Amino acid sequence: NRSLSPLRRHSWDKREKDKEGKEKDKKTVNGHVFTPVSSNHATQCSQCNKGFNGKDAFHCTYCNASVHKGCRDSLAVCAKVKMKVQLPRSYSSQFAVPDSSLFPTVTMRNKRECETSSSCHSHPVFDEMPIKGLRYLSQSTDSLNRTNQVTESMESLTDEGCVVDSGTEMMDGQLMGEFEAEAKELEADSWSLGVDQQHLQQLDKELVKRQDVIYELMQTEMHHVRTLRIMSEVYSKGLQKEVQLEQQMLEKLFPVLDDLLELHTQHLLRLLERKKESQLEGRVFEGGFIISRIGDILGSQFSGSNGESMKRVYGRFCSRHNEAVNFHKDLLNKDKRFKAFIKKKMSSSIVRRLGIPECILLVTQRITKYPVLIQRLLQHTKDYFDLTEAIRLVKEVIAAVDSKVNEHEKRRRLKEFHGRMDNKSIMMMKNGQIFAREDLLRRRLIHDGALQLKNTQGRLKEVHALLLSDVFVFLQEKDQKYVFAMLDQRSTVISLQKLIVREVANEERGLFLITAGIEKPEMMEVLASSKDERNTWMQLIQEDEDEGIPSETEDDKRQLETKAKEMRELLRQKDTEIMSLLEEKVRLFRGMWEGVSPGEEACRQVQPFFRSPCSLEPPGGASIMKDALQEVETLQTLVNGSLGGAMASVQEGGGGGAGPVCLPRRAETFGGFDSHQMHSSKSGDRDESEDMAGDLRRTESDSVLKKVCIPAAVVVQQDSFIEDQRQALSERSSSCTSLSRPSSRPSSLIEQEKQRSLEKQRQELASLQRQQAAHAEEKRRREKEWEHREKQLAEREAQVHAQEEEILKQQKDLEEEKQELQNKKEEYQKDLERLRDAQRKLERDREYHAESISQRIAFQALPSLSGARVLRLPFFLEPHTSRL
């Protein structure tokens, strides 16, 4: 038996190869199983309703549909695939011969079929891919007799995740049917290929190119929506139902997927609606349509609320691209159910071999395709303004998305450094502030990279630099953790406030960091990896300094607004208390004046209570009140300067008066605010220097307010004493004229009251005089300070004038020297020209003498003629020789 097993296996493989060769001609598309047939057996195509005329015809064995070879892809989903059929569970029913074609199951071939289906991963994403339909069980007797072999094949397919559930297949078939219905709108590869060629030749070339680009825009948008629907309907909902993934994990794998699908679905509907409008307006012909305007739709997609949504959604999706891909890898390695689900879906026809990483990558790349398409539209369009605005809006959205991606990446990097920092590592800054590990997350990362620090001995130390929003931090790695770098007992956490950056003269990679604005400025030399890297660090540091460090955050603004509201409410409460006290004082005065005559009462009603009347001499505290009002104005300037915009909003919100000078309040008003401010400062995180400055400002304001309130109280008490005296005089006069009226109280009590009031008035007068003396001394001291400052300014001005005169004198001397040098240069040029002329004349004389000498030598060297005597030429025929 063992010797016959190879022959039996060979015969079995041969039969299987013959069956596969017979089924090669069949092609499964949209659930149809097509078999090539002769065109004589079919009358017309089920898709285009045209005759075959000798062309290749294909017949579906499920629904008996006959179509052309080119019409197979556009044919609707096979009706038999849509029916919900449950697979038999028992092995006996599983391998029973079906009564009709209404019970599709999986054909058990061998593992090579499953491997063949899995080899399709290498196909391009957008290529046309064959759709895997359900196959029948083989009805041959060989397959029925080999139950054990088929059982083993079934188990192997189940392990590989290749068995497709009928319910899932039905849902995928329905979704595929929807995709095919949408694809009928844009089934041609391009606009020009779907138009009648005779009519196409009559159209303008620019129009044809424009319509091709618009068609490509609509077609790619449809493909993008299809990818999003695959992510939502197939993967997201399938993982939620079959793998029972939590919503938080799905959001991490597919961030803001619903918002993306909603945005692009609405955009695709607007594009298709514009196509229908063009068809209704008559701009349609056989096989095509013409869209005249598209820029308004593109502009609305990337502007207004849609534009903000695009920035927000794509910013979040693209910034979490790497996290989603890494999370997908982790799930594949750790979760077996997730791995089986992915394998099952990858064999489905609806997915088209699009895995989750490929879908995420396609979505992130989609937003970068819009500028290319719109730029091509601009080359062949008359709708120039709308498209120019649309491409500007698209680039603005892309820039915003890129900025959000960079910010997310920097936040991730900063958290990574925070996680690797040693918990016990701290550093004392130059201003005395402690910088710890937790302070990293309170800043914003601008840039990071490897640098080298040079110590006083000239040695280099490798560090990793972090440029944050307000500090420059140097870290070094120790035991696989980061700690603050140590450099000659100097702080390696440098504040960017008043930081000076300079290049190193003899080192193109180096730069100096100079900390100014402190008692002992320090300089640190830093080396980068290259000159370009050095320039990048310098530019980023200068830009970070220009932003205004530290920057005011939204939390600080809200805290200031809350404090302003509380202070305004507290001021209103104190004003109400003051008004109630004044009204009570008015009632007391009215009680004291009840026995006055009608004439005097009329005079009293005209006279005001809380200031001295015009007929009487003003009290002695008037001058003090005038000086006090000046002090109040100074206090108001100090408070406005310290609180900034918060006090400005308080003055605007109060609405009490329109004058530039505020009325003085009581010390209790600001005292209540001080107590509240100190209480709120305990709960918040504030610097020690800011608290000390606030305490100094509050102490100064309290002292000035006390100076103001004391004279105000004296004036009010003087008015009250005058009114009391008038009451006593009126009572005395009435007792003298009318003896019948008894005295209200004994004269001894009146005298005692007068003595006490006079003594009190003397004390107040003495205190007023002391205050006047103090104010006069303060005034003299300030005048001396101003005189000293004016003197210094005059001296500086004199020095400046002297320096200007010296500079003018030096400029005049320089001009004279320049003129003298110019004259010498001209004389030198003239002498040089004469020398050149003499040299040229000498050269000519030398050449002439040399020529004459050569002629004489030539005459002397002539040979004698055959013994004849050489005749001597006469002297007038001899060559002329001149003396040297």
DSSP state of 470: S
Residue 506 DSSP SS3? coil
Q: What is the pTM of this model?
A: 0.45
Q: Are 461 and 455 in contact (CB under 8 A)?
A: yes
d(CA 10, CA 686): 86
Find how far residue 230's CA is from the centre of its chain.
30
d(CA 637, CA 841): 90
d(CA 266, CA 259): 11
d(CA 353, CA 358): 9
**DSSP annotation string for 136-171:** PPP--HHHHH-HHHHHHHHHHHHHHT-PPPHHHHHH
Q: Which two tokens stand for residue 123?
A: 């196909």
Closest of 476, 458, 481 to residue 466, by C-alpha:
476
Structure confidence by residue, pLDDT tens digits, 279-322: 776 555 555 678 888 888 998 999 999 999 999 999 999 999 99
Compute how many other C-beta atoms are within 10 angstroms of the C-beta atom of residue 845.
11
How confident is residue 674, by pLDDT bands cut at 50, 70 and 90? very low
Look at residue 314 in the predicted model and tell me its pLDDT: 94
Residue type, 321: H
**DSSP annotation string for 262-283:** HHHHHHHHHHHHHHHHHHHTT-
Closest of 72, 84, 90, 86 to residue 32, by C-alpha:
72
The answer to whether the peptide bond before residue 874 is cis (omega within 30 degrees of 0) is no
Matching residue, tokens 């979505």: 363
Examine the pLDDT at 70 and tell me if it is beyond 80: no
d(CA 604, CA 598): 10
Q: Which residues contact 623 (CB under 8 A, 6 or more apart)?
A: 772
Structure confidence by residue, pLDDT tens digits, 92-145: 333 333 333 333 333 333 333 333 333 333 333 333 333 333 232 233 333 333
Structure confidence by residue, pLDDT tens digits, 23-66: 444 456 677 777 787 655 556 787 776 777 666 788 787 677 88
Q: Are strands 460-467 and 447-454 parallel, antiparallel or unpaired?
A: antiparallel
Q: Are strands 66-68 and 284-285 parallel, antiparallel or unpaired?
A: unpaired
d(CA 22, CA 672): 97
How confident is residue 713, by pLDDT bands cut at 50, 70 and 90? low
Tell me the three-class secondary structure of 724-745, residue by residue. Answer: HHHHHHHHHHHHHHCCCCCCCC
Closest of 155, 132, 151, 135 to residue 143, by C-alpha:
151
Burial class (CB in 10 A: 0-12, 13-18, 19+), 35: middle
d(CA 130, CA 140): 27
Average pLDDT over residues 263-272: 91
Compute how many other C-beta atoms are within 10 angstroms of the C-beta atom of residue 62.
19
Provide the CB-side half-sphere exposure for 583 (13 A, CA).
6
Q: Are 445 and 408 in contact (CB under 8 A)?
A: no
Look at residue 797 in the predicted model and tell me its pLDDT: 92
The fold for domain 197-408 equals Dbl Homology Domain; Chain A (1.20.900)
Q: Which two tokens stand for residue 594?
A: 């009840």
Structure confidence by residue, pLDDT tens digits, 816-854: 999 999 999 999 999 999 999 999 999 999 999 998 898
Q: Which two tokens stand for residue 625?
A: 């009140």
How big is the chain by its Cα radius of gyration, in Å? 51
Look at residue 369 in the predicted model and tell me its pLDDT: 92
Look at residue 152 in the predicted model and tell me its pLDDT: 37
Look at residue 323 in the predicted model and tell me its pLDDT: 92
Beta strands in 25-155 (DSSP E): 27-29, 32-37, 57-60, 66-68
d(CA 384, CA 390): 10
Look at residue 802 in the predicted model and tell me its pLDDT: 93
Classify each residue of 651-660 as buried b or exposed e, where b means 16 or more C-beta atoms within 10 Å of its C-beta: beeeeeeeee
Examine the pLDDT at 544 and tell me if it is beyond 50: yes
Examine the pLDDT at 795 and tell me if it is beyond 90: yes
Burial class (CB in 10 A: 0-12, 13-18, 19+), 401: buried
Look at residue 256 in the predicted model and tell me its pLDDT: 92
Examine the pLDDT at 203 and tell me if it is beyond 90: no
Matching residue, tokens 């601008």: 446
Q: Are 297 and 271 in contact (CB under 8 A)?
A: yes
Helices (H), 612-687: 622-643, 645-654, 667-683
Structure confidence by residue, pLDDT tens digits, 762-780: 888 888 888 889 989 999 9
d(CA 98, CA 90): 14
Closest of 723, 473, 695 to residue 592, by C-alpha:
723
Give the H or E element holding residue 493.
strand 493-495
**DSSP annotation string for 564-602:** HHHHHHHHHHHHHHHHHHHHHHHHHHHHHTTT--HHHHH
Considering only residues 102 and 266, tell me which one the structure prediction assigns the higher pLDDT.
Answer: 266
Look at residue 80 in the predicted model and tell me its pLDDT: 53
Domain ranges of the chain: 5-161, 197-408, 429-546, 554-680+691-732, 840-858+872-884
Closest of 487, 486, 528 to residue 507, by C-alpha:
528
Closest of 409, 413, 393 to residue 311, by C-alpha:
393
Matching residue, tokens 């489905």: 348
Compute how many other C-beta atoms are within 10 angstroms of the C-beta atom of residue 351.
20
Look at residue 465 in the predicted model and tell me its pLDDT: 92
DSSP state of 473: E
Structure confidence by residue, pLDDT tens digits, 218-259: 889 999 999 999 998 888 988 988 888 899 999 999 999 999
d(CA 80, CA 99): 15
**DSSP annotation string for 638-658:** HHHHHHTHHHHHHHHHH-S--
Provide the CB-side half-sphere exposure for 776 (13 A, CA).
7
Structure confidence by residue, pLDDT tens digits, 402-422: 999 999 998 999 999 989 988
Report CA torsion sign: 119, 125, 130, 135: positive
Closest of 95, 51, 92 to residue 71, by C-alpha:
51
Report CA torsion sign: 160, 166, 171, 176: positive
Q: Are 500 and 508 in contact (CB under 8 A)?
A: no
Look at residue 265 in the predicted model and tell me its pLDDT: 92
How confident is residue 187, by pLDDT bands cut at 50, 70 and 90? low
Per CATH, domain 5-161 is 3.40.710.10: no
Q: Are 631 and 546 in contact (CB under 8 A)?
A: no
CATH number listed for the domain at residues 429-546: 2.30.29.30
Residue type, 453: L
Matching residue, tokens 């180096």: 510
d(CA 133, CA 121): 18
Rounded to the nearest integer, the mean pLDDT of the chain is 72
How confident is residue 761, by pLDDT bands cut at 50, 70 and 90? confident
Look at residue 159 in the predicted model and tell me its pLDDT: 42
Q: Which two tokens stand for residue 356?
A: 């989750």
